[in-house]
């Protein structure tokens, strides 16, 4: 607004340099492995360029529309999954991750009445940024593990050598995972008539699992009621399938470039490795390769925002990544830490909204709350996760902006990686089922517990579900 209170038109975007799927190569690319044989890497990238796309441009556009509803405050984004997916993930484990996301979504929808946009960190979340290029164990220094798309987690020279053939394996694993997810979400498993089946045995006994059972009984009765009233056909068919989207950090740019295709319908470029891609906290430099690459693809994109981010940096990112101010195009994923969020977030929210950008703001309460427990395990406490989400909601109330959603690291399995939660995990439990290849994830019952706590926070927020 100007001094008379009139709305100012959005400034026209500054002209940007021409873009091509390869233009990132002229910028500085952080966090790329050094391939022992660059020609071998290029030959895999060339082979990948002729493989079929994993997702369609139209699906990515559909997700952008759903995220536009999130930006308006008419829907809530649940983005969740592994920190780092493994090439060895079993079909059961994929099903169980989907199952816990469906459980969380149904809890949120049931208690808030707001549609939940479901996006997995799945079917491509294979590359990890690292704080250090090397890792030292018992005096031996080796290259860091960078995710299964690059090297292996074992601690030997052979395991840690970047292998470009892994890009092809990653593509095949992503395709197989996506195929299974499409079968589960469209083939009846995700039907609202199956809500009880999503609650796994070990979750049923936890307080959150019991609360879930009671809610599932009510949903069953509501569905039976609708059927008894003669509501059939398309309306009931709607309850039998869900839209589920995939996402990962667009870290390994050779892989992302190879899967980027020109859409025959619109002529726009899409990164067809996933519906949504995000830029990590370590690679969001405005003149870096990752920003350069993602500015040119038309998928909805995310960008992590950590405690060192400034308002000027965010405004510059908005101008480059969303120059046409398309609602749903850009999501800022904030990860400040439970004790910093309330101080650091409101000025950023205000700066971006005062500049006229309508983005999705979502809360990653995981990456700012990691610490090493007394027994040496990297962990997070459920209460810190909850505290950051709650600070995130408070910051949005303060700034008058929409808290759009959450971005979580979780698994459906009964792991003991994060502390606390309804069926409390204690420090002495951590070593019993600590299975992650990277960061600690919420287990099935902690995730369902968090969904109920989130639903309560959402109901208490006047912007949504009131
Ligand atoms: C992640 O999401 O796994 C991650 C590495 O996060 P960040 O970029 O926020 O540190
Ligand atoms: Co992580």
256 Cβ contact list (under 8 Å, min separation 6): 250, 271, 273, 277, 293
CA-to-CA distance for 145 and 135, rounded, in angstroms?
8
Residue 8 counted as domain residue: no
pLDDT of residue 32: 96
Residue 10 counted as domain residue: no
193 C-alpha to center of ligand 1: Å? 35
Q: Pairing state of beta strands 360-363 and 301-305?
A: unpaired
Which region holds residue 400: left if phi is over 0, alpha if psi is between -120 and 50, else beta?
A: left
Closest atom of ligand 1 to CA, residue 438 = 3
Residue 22 counted as domain residue: no
pLDDT of residue 77: 98
Boundaries of domain holding 325: 30-465
pLDDT of residue 7: 53
CA-to-CA distance for 336 and 391, rounded, in angstroms?
10
CA-to-CA distance for 369 and 280, rounded, in angstroms?
16
Three-state DSSP class for residue 311: helix
Nearest Cα residue to atom 3 of ligand 1:
83
Residue 47 counted as domain residue: yes
Closest atom of ligand 1 to CA, residue 83 = 3
pLDDT of residue 225: 86
Residue 24 counted as domain residue: no
Residue 23 counted as domain residue: no
pLDDT of residue 390: 97
Nearest Cα residue to atom 10 of ligand 1:
281
Torsion (CA) 17, 21, 22, 24 in degrees, nearest 10: 60
CA-to-CA distance for 113 and 427, rounded, in angstroms?
37
Stretches where the chain sits below pLDDT 50 are: 1-5, 463-466
Closest atom of ligand 1 to CA, residue 364 = 9
184 C-alpha to center of ligand 2: Å? 26
Nearest Cα residue to atom 4 of ligand 1:
280
Residue 390 counted as domain residue: yes
How does pLDDT run across 379-428, given as a tens digit for each residue? 999 999 999 999 999 999 999 999 999 999 999 999 999 999 977 999 99
pLDDT of residue 1: 43
369 C-alpha to center of ligand 1: Å? 12
Q: Which ligand is nearest to the CA of 378?
A: 2
CA-to-CA distance for 99 and 89, rounded, in angstroms?
15
pLDDT of residue 2: 43
Nearest Cα residue to atom 1 of ligand 1:
83
CA-to-CA distance for 128 and 39, rounded, in angstroms?
23
Question: How many angstroms separate the first and last alpha carbons of the chain?
Answer: 28
CA-to-CA distance for 270 and 20, rounded, in angstroms?
11
Which residues approach ligand 1 with their CB closer than 6 A?
A: 83, 129, 280-282, 304, 335, 367, 439
366 C-alpha to center of ligand 2: Å? 7
337 C-alpha to center of ligand 2: Å? 14
User: Which of 129, 146, 368 gets mutated to test ligand 1 (max ligand atoms within 8 A of its CB)?
Assistant: 129
Looking at the structure of the chain, the number of domains it has is 1
279 C-alpha to center of ligand 1: Å? 9
User: Which of 283, 364, 380, 388 gets mutated to test ligand 1 (max ligand atoms within 8 A of its CB)?
Assistant: 364
Closest atom of ligand 1 to CA, residue 282 = 8
CA-to-CA distance for 59 and 47, rounded, in angstroms?
24
438 C-alpha to center of ligand 2: Å? 7
Can you give the CATH number for the domain in which 420 is found? 3.20.20.70
191 C-alpha to center of ligand 2: Å? 30
Residue 18 counted as domain residue: no
Q: Are 459 and 112 in contact (CB under 8 A)?
A: yes
Q: What are phi and psi of 162, to 5 degrees?
A: -60, 130
Residues with CB under 5 A from ligand 2 (ion): 83, 439
């Amino acid at each position: 607004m100007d001094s008379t209170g009139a709305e100012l038109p959005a400034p026209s975007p500054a002209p940007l340099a021409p873009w091509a799927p390869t233009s990132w190569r002229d910028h500085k690319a952080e966090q790329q492995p050094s391939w022992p044989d660059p020609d071998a890497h290029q030959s895999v990238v060339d082979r990948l360029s002729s493989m079929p796309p994993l997702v369609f441009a139209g699906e990515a556009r559909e997700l952008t529309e759903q995220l536009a509803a999130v930006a308006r405050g008419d829907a809530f984004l649940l983005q969740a999954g592994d920190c780092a997916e493994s090439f060895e993930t079993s079909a059961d484990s994929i099903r169980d991750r989907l199952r816990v996301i469906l459980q969380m979504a149904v809890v949120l929808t049931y208690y808030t009445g707001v549609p939940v946009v479901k996006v997995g960190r799945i079917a491509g979340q294979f590359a990890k940024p690292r704080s250090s290029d090397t890792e030292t164990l018992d005096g031996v220094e080796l290259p860091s593990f960078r995710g299964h798309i690059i090297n292996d987690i074992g601690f030997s020279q052979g395991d840690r050598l970047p292998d470009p053939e892994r890009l092809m394996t990653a593509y095949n694993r992503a395709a197989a995972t996506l195929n299974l997810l499409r079968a589960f979400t469209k083939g009846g498993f995700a039907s609202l008539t199956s809500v009880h089946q999503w609650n796994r045995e070990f979750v049923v006994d936890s307080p959150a699992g019991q609360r879930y059972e009671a809610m599932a009984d009510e949903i069953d009765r509501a569905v039976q009621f609708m059927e008894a009233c003669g509501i059939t056909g398309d309306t009931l068919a709607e309850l039998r399938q869900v839209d589920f989207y995939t996402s990962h950090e667009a870290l390994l740019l050779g892989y992302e470039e190879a899967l980027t295709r020109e859409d025959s319908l619109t002529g726009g470029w899409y990164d067809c490795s996933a519906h949504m891609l995000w830029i990590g906290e370590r690679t969001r430099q405005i003149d870096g390769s990752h920003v350069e690459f993602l500015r040119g693809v038309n998928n909805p994109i995310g960008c992590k925002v950590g405690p060192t981010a400034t308002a000027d940096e965010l405004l510059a990112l908005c101008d480059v990544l969303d120059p046409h101010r398309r609602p749903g195009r850009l999501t800022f994923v904030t990860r400040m830490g439970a004790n910093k969020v309330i101080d650091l977030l409101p000025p950023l929210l205000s700066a971006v909204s005062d500049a006229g950008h309508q983005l999705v703001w979502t809360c990653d309460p995981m990456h700012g709350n990691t610490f090493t427990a007394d027994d040496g395990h990297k962990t997070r406490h459920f209460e810190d996760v909850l505290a950051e989400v709650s600070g995130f909601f408070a910051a949005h109330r303060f700034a008058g902006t929409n808290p759009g959603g959450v971005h979580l690291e979780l698994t459906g399995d009964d792991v003991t990686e994060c502390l606390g939660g309804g069926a409390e995990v204690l420090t002495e439990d951590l070593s019993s089922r600590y299975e992650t290849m990277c960061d600690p994830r919420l287990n099935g019952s902690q995730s369902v517990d968090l969904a109920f706590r989130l639903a309560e926070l959402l109901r208490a927020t006047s912007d949504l579900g009131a």
